[in-house]
Each structure stands twice: as C-alpha cells, then as structure tokens.
Structure 1
C-alpha cells in the first residue's frame, strides 16, 4: 500500500541524445547548435510541470521524446513525437513545448545557417523510498580502492538507466583508458560528443514515493 507522499521535482537541461540529424565529428567540427532567443530553455519548458498523479499511482515512468526541426531562418518548423510512455505524460510534455515560438538562432555549420533536427526529452522517474542514484559517488568508492573494473560496471548501469547523459560516457571512457581499453574509451568519447551535439534539451521530472 502506498502511503505518505514525499515528492520533489528535478528540472535539468543537458545536451545529450540521439537526434534525427546525426552528428559527424569529422565533417561538423565547426558546428554550432541552435539556441532559443526568448530565454532559458529549461526555465521555459519546466515551468508548471508536475508529475501527473494518475501516472504516479500507476507507476508510469520513462521518456517522452520529441523531434524539433529548426530551419536556417530560425523558425521552429515542426514538432513531432517520437516516443511516449503514456498519453498522459505526452500530453503534459506537449503543453510544455507549445510555449515555444519561432524565435531561434539557427544552427550554423562552417559559419552558414542550416536546417537542423534535434530531440527534446522529458524524462519521468519515480524513486521508491530513495533519491536518485549517485553513480559518480558509487564509482569513486571503487576507484579509490583501485577496483576500476567495478567502477566501469557502475557506469554501465548508469548508462543503461540514463542513456542520454554524456557525463557517464565520459567517465567510463576515462576508466577504460586506465584499464587499457583504448578502443572502448574512444567509442564512449564519440558517443558523448554525439549526445552533446544532437540533443537540444532534456527535462527531468522526478518524484520520490514513500512506501510503508
């Protein structure tokens, strides 16, 4: 039985995801992402967001993912849902995106304005009798003991649960280098670069549910 509700909301924007327009580091080293001119994107998208009560009661969590196309003139040309875990969560995310207007600084490649598609992710997570896992802290404890393989496994878990967070790939790459896995480290570094470039925004909505 669920009793007692302790909730908090995490609103975080980060540049991490797999977008509709893949990033090629060899040809797009001089690429500049689009930016919203009306204010801080995290503030605008997170304003008024709460975890829907029905979704909490049913234990519904996961990502609602949208593809946004911003053309070379700075217009928000299209918004398309790519993934949704429930209609209720998607409806709330869509309301948040409806706040956005056509006022963007367009993407630039080699100094030229270009059309570009990005992803915006609304990540809903319920934490039962706990706070979000501190993966960096867990990994560091193993690092301090010289147990690098176990530290890598911590980041394996972090990436499995949070595949759109580039910092986890970066930290795992550093550990792999120390272990001599240069190919694995290079792959993680490339993925981190791709995530940073391809995701326009990530908004995290977390709620802690107390079980008694």
Structure 2
C-alpha cells in the first residue's frame, strides 16, 4: 500500500536532467527464496502502537535541497523483528542520497515500541522485512492513477493495453504488490497464464516481505 505525502513547489528551469535510478536492492531482494507452500500460514509483524504508515509519515516533507536538485528515488532499509517483538536491527540497503536517507532513518527511529511478531504456522519467528521510502518528483503533473487508466481499457475490452498500463506502474513502483496482482488478472484475460502466475507469486512475495512503502511526493511547476 502506498501512502502519499504530497508537497507542491513552483520553480524555474531551462532544462531538465532525467536521472535513471537502478534499483539494485530491489533486484537482489526479489531473488530471495520464496516458498508459498511453507509460508501459506504466514502472519506479518505489526507495530503495536498503531498504523505503521501514519507513524512513519509524521513530519515527512520532501527536503528542499533535494527537490531543487531533482534528487529522487527509493531509500530502503532491511529491518529485523525478532520473535519477542523487538526491532533488533535496521540496515540501510539503498541510499539515493544522504539527505533522503537521513530523513528516513529519523522516521524509523520513532519506532520505539514493541511489535506483534511474525508467525509461521502459529509460532512466533524472527523475520526480516524491507521498508521502502519512495521519493518522487512530478514536474507539471500529479501521480498517475494506473487503476483508473486500466479500468478504461477494460471497459473498452482492451486488456492488452491494461497490461501495458501496469507494466508502467511496476516500472515506477516496483515494490507495490497490487500492481502485480492486477497485471496478473489482465494477463489471464489475454491468455498469458504463465506470466499471470509469475505476477501472482511476486505479489504474494512482496506482501510478505515488504513491511511498508511510504511515498513522499513533490509536485513542481517548471516554466
């Protein structure tokens, strides 16, 4: 699930430099072992003091210097929560910039209470999760509603275009499981059962291994 923290800024640029970010932590994370049969009775850890996304997003705004410099991308941390419900480690996996990473680290530092630990087959277990802070800048635009776009193609009986819509969604939001689930639906409709199954498994994997995705968005008017 994405939580948007949206800010607006008007700036003037003569040109825009398009930056390509390689999600190395995502690639390595997506290749970890996943066995849906052994993890079918899995319960994700939850924070005892309330909604995790709400707590993480408190006081988060897009850093001014980062916004002016066009710095954006994902900041990821690997959190380990033990079977006693303690957050025992928080290891940075990807740092787009120190400024963005430091802000995310401060947010994680607020998680001082205990957790309800992960469970497999009813037994509490140690578990590692990926926590994602996704910083994005939208120039002269707002975030795309991919679900609405795909629904329009569905209404026009064009599922192949709905698949391409979710291709774009996953390219921009690779950690969001619902996009894989929706792409699986439309892949089934066009007869790509193998691709649909792969997307379904990826959605299940992300649901179990991503603790949360916090989206910090900045809208900038470029003239």
Take 1:148 and 1:33, find their aligned partners in 2: how far apart are those partners? 33
Partner of 1:45: 56
User: What pairs with 1:50-89 in structure 2 (closer than 5 Å)?
Assistant: 50-89=61-100
* Partner Cα distance (2:159, 2:31) in 1: 35
What is the CA–CA distance in structure 1 between the aligned matches of 2:30 and 2:161, rounded to whole Å? 31
Could you say which residue in structure 2 is the equivalent of 1:170?
Answer: 181
Residues 34 and 205, structure 2, Cα contact 8 Å, conserved in 1: yes
Cα distance in 2 for residues equivalent to 1:161 and 1:20: 19
Q: What is residue 96 of structure 1 aligned with on the other side?
A: 107
**Cα displacement (A) at 1:179:** 0.9
Q: CA deviation at 1:23?
A: 3.9
The alignment yields a C-alpha RMSD, in angstroms, of 1.9
Find 2:204's aligned residue among 190, 193, 198. 193
* 3-state SS in 1 of match to 2:111: coil
**Counterpart position of 2:5:** none
Task: State yes or no: 1:150 paired with 2:138.
Answer: no
1:173-210, CA deviations, whole angstroms, 9 ceiling, x for partnerless residues? 11111111111111111111111111111111001001
Give the one of 128, 131, 140 matched to 2:142.
Answer: 131
CA deviation after TM superposition for structure 1 residue 165, in Å: 1.1
Match of 2:213 in 1: 202
Q: After the TM superposition, which of the residue ranges 101-110 and 125-134 deviates more from structure 2? A: 101-110
Unaligned runs of 5+ in 1: 4-16
Q: Residue 11 of structure 2: which of 2, 13, 20 is its match?
A: 2
Counterpart in the other structure of 1:179: 190
The answer for the alignment partner of 2:21 in structure 1 is none
Unaligned runs of 5+ in 2: 1-9, 13-25
Which structure has the higher relative contact order (CA within 8 Å, separation 6+)?
1
Structure 1 residue 98: Cα displacement: 0.6
* In 2, Cα distance between equivalents of 1:87 and 1:52: 11
